[in-house]
């Protein structure tokens, strides 16, 4: 018996929603685009537990605060807070993750019948994690969190109904004993910082074949080098150097597949003067040499 599921799809996005218990929904998101607007209804007693498996997501709040989640990160939000409302952006045009939505008033009696020896107060749990900010709490991956969520992404259809129920209870039990102080990771950015970083990203995406230094970017975009370095990593999850290399490798793959240009010509086209350096970097990044990739 499978749990009740509802699929919603649009260009570059699929959302599969399972009702696990009354008042408790498990949502699987798979996004392959930059922008999607999700407007969570605020002022409701809904507790949201979010997990990022792949890619990156930006949450832009009405307060002007920007928060980011990367692979392994978990966040918790309390919709009753006035500033929970936010828009989402996907800096890497890729995101795969889970949202556990808990309607506290409907879910509490269900949980009470399932966990009889240990009372878990959902409203108290939500307040504890979200007491210091309207959005709530952001946590980096721990072994226990990784174990719970990673197993949810590949469950055989025939056992989903029971498996999801067990995992949801396990998540609540884990949250009931997690210390909010020892796991908190909350680094936020302001609009002008994010806007500058996105301009830098667009510039690099078009000019990755050039030799570009951090100081050049600092001067061109009128931002301190240390601030640019920190904010870029915060938004995109990689350093500027890594971002440039990814752009070069992606273009190199395209040229290897779509043209008959020589390896040296392609190396030069993506910013490498030395063919052997290009081949070595390509193999380290892609897992095979340019020549082998071209044969695929």
User: For residue range 36-66, what is the model confidence (pLDDT) as tens digits?
Assistant: 665 555 556 888 899 999 999 988 877 778 8
> Which pLDDT belongs to residue 52?
92
CATH fold label, 191-295: Arc Repressor Mutant, subunit A (1.10.10)
The CATH number assigned to the domain with range 4-183 reads 2.60.120.10
Within the chain, all domains assigned CATH 1.10.10.60 are found at 191-295
By the 10 Å C-beta count (0-12 exposed, 13-18 middle, 19+ buried), 3 is classed as middle
Statement: residue 86 has pLDDT above 90 = no
State pTM to two decimals: 0.82
Q: DSSP assignment, residue 82?
A: T
> Which pLDDT belongs to residue 132?
63
Lowest mean pLDDT among 64-78, 83-97, 105-119, 210-224: 83-97
Within the chain, all domains assigned CATH 2.60.120.10 are found at 4-183
Statement: residue 24 has pLDDT above 70 = yes
Q: Which has more pLDDT, 112 or 137?
A: 112
Q: What is the mean pLDDT of the chain?
A: 87
Q: What is the mean pLDDT of residues 128-154?
A: 78
Q: What is the mean pLDDT of residues 86-112?
A: 90
Q: What is the mean pLDDT of residues 181-197?
A: 80
């Amino acid at each position: 018996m499978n749990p009740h599921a509802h699929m919603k799809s649009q260009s570059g996005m699929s959302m599969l929603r399972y009702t696990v218990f009354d008042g408790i929904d498990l949502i699987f998101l798979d996004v392959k685009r930059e922008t999607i607007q999700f407007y969570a209804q605020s002022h409701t007693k809904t507790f949201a537990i979010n997990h990022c498996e792949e890619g990156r997501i930006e949450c832009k709040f009405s307060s002007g605060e920007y928060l980011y989640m990367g692979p392994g990160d978990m966040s918790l939000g309390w919709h009753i807070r006035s500033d929970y409302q936010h828009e989402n952006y996907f800096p890497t045009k890729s995101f795969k993750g889970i949202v556990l939505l808990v309607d506290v008033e409907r879910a509490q009696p269900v949980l009470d019948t399932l966990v009889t020896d240990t009372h878990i107060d959902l409203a108290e749990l939500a307040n504890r994690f979200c007491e210091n900010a309207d959005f709530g709490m952001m946590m980096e991956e721990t072994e226990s969190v990784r174990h719970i969520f990673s197993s949810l992404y590949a469950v055989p259809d025939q056992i989903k109904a029971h498996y999801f129920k067990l995992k949801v209870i396990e998540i609540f039990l884990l949250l009931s004993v997690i210390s909010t102080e020892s796991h908190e990771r909350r680094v936020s950015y302001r609009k002008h910082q994010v806007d500058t970083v996105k301009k830098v990203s667009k510039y690099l995406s078009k000019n990755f074949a050039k030799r570009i230094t951090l100081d050049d970017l600092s001067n061109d975009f009128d931002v301190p080098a240390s601030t640019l370095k920190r904010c870029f990593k915060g938004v995109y999850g990689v350093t500027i150097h890594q971002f440039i290399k990814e752009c070069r490798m992606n273009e190199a793959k395209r040229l290897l597949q779509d043209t008959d240009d020589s390896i040296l010509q392609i190396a030069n086209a993506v910013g490498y003067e030395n063919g052997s350096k290009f081949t070595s970097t390509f193999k380290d990044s892609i897992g095979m040499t340019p020549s082998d990739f071209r044969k695929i």
